[in-house]
Amino acid sequence: MRRFALSLMLCLPLLSQPVTAEVVEGLYQVREPVSSQSPADRDAALAKALQDLVIRLTGDPQATQKPALAEMLKDPQQLITQYGYDAGPPAGLVINFDPASINRTLTQAGLPIWGANRPVVLAWWLNDSETGSTLIGDGQAAAEPLRRAARNSGLPLRLPLADLSEQLVGTAETIDAGKPDALREASERYNADALLTVHAKQVGNGWQAQWRMWTGTATEQGSAQGADNDALVSAILQDITTRLARQYVVKPGAAQALTLVVDGANFERYAQLQKLLEPMGGRLLRAENGQLRYQLNVNPAQLQAQLGLANLEQTSAPLNADTAPTQPQAAAVEPAQNVLYYRWP
């Protein structure tokens, strides 16, 4: 294995271009808060974790109500690879689910699966509380509820640094105007797919907010309220995740055996692609001269959507004719319609 990894590093090109979309780390890992380590609290957390995972993978808050999932939801432990307690704060139970078993059950239930490669959202989030107005920045303690809710939703979320120049831009007037132009220049360095603005206000004992999101030419907006700031954050990010899923999740279709050939790889890109294909059961057959060849059993439309989001370009044939496989007999039995060719730009 070490020899293979070393040869891969030596034969792949050295230069790479970053992609905007981001592979979500720990997509099948869920953390649920617990008040104790009692069996009752543990079982309740396991059940809630599986429900949260189903919503995260489908982007549909109603997915857990599907009759076809009733048996699966009754017994979460059959789908768990491991779990353990985290002291926090807050204290929680961390659960790792088996991707293959979860995906198989969701597919059999006719539900779509949102892969690990997801659009990056940059949030300009302004909080108005009794103590004043605050633009939430990366690294602030106030950012932790956002990060926690984003992890729970499987949403790659970025926050501005909220330095002095950005505080002058991210004002209530700018955010309430509903026009992203004033924020676009300040947002460029964060390399995000979607721009989100939120103006949250503390009203009495609760919180309420108006938000807007821009992805390409599409615009979404909404409102939310919560008993506290954490509840408000969770409501907004779940709503945003659901709306993004409508744009990016591919409807379920029949899985089929496919060969994926990708040109222009280097070691960093190889690692990114491994993370992307792992939940789909992708198996690396060969890595040679900057070309990766995988075998998968997957819905082609879902695979193509994920590769497109990763900024990979589909091609009609391998770019380099001189990088023919060293085992031509294996390639010869692959029907042309079952081979997808891609490259990094």
Coil/strand/helix, residue 126: strand
CA dist 276 and 291 (Å) reads 16
Q: Specify which of 105-114, 225-234, 312-321 reaches the highest per-range mean pLDDT.
A: 225-234
For 35-93, write each residue's pLDDT tens digit: 999 999 999 999 999 999 999 999 999 999 999 999 999 999 999 999 999 998 889 99
pLDDT band at 247, cuts 50/70/90?
confident
User: Looking at this protein, which amino acid is placed at residue 232?
Assistant: L
Q: What is the pTM of this model?
A: 0.74
For 277-331, write each residue's pLDDT tens digit: 887 788 999 999 999 999 998 888 878 878 887 889 999 865 554 444 444 434 4
Q: Specify which of 6-15, 28-37, 299-308 reaches the highest per-range mean pLDDT.
A: 28-37
The pair of structure tokens assigned to 178 is 């509903």
Domains of the chain: 2-18+252-343 (no CATH), 28-108 (no CATH), 119-248 (3.30.160.100)
Coil/strand/helix, residue 326: coil
CA dist 303 and 260 (Å) reads 10
What b/e string do you get for 134-144 counting C-beta neighbours within 10 Å, with b at 16 or more? bbbbeeeebbe
The pair of structure tokens assigned to 145 is 């509820």
Neighbours of 82 (CB within 10 A): 10
What b/e string do you get for 35-57 counting C-beta neighbours within 10 Å, with b at 16 or more? eeeeeebbeebbbbbbbbbbbbb
pLDDT band at 7, cuts 50/70/90?
very low
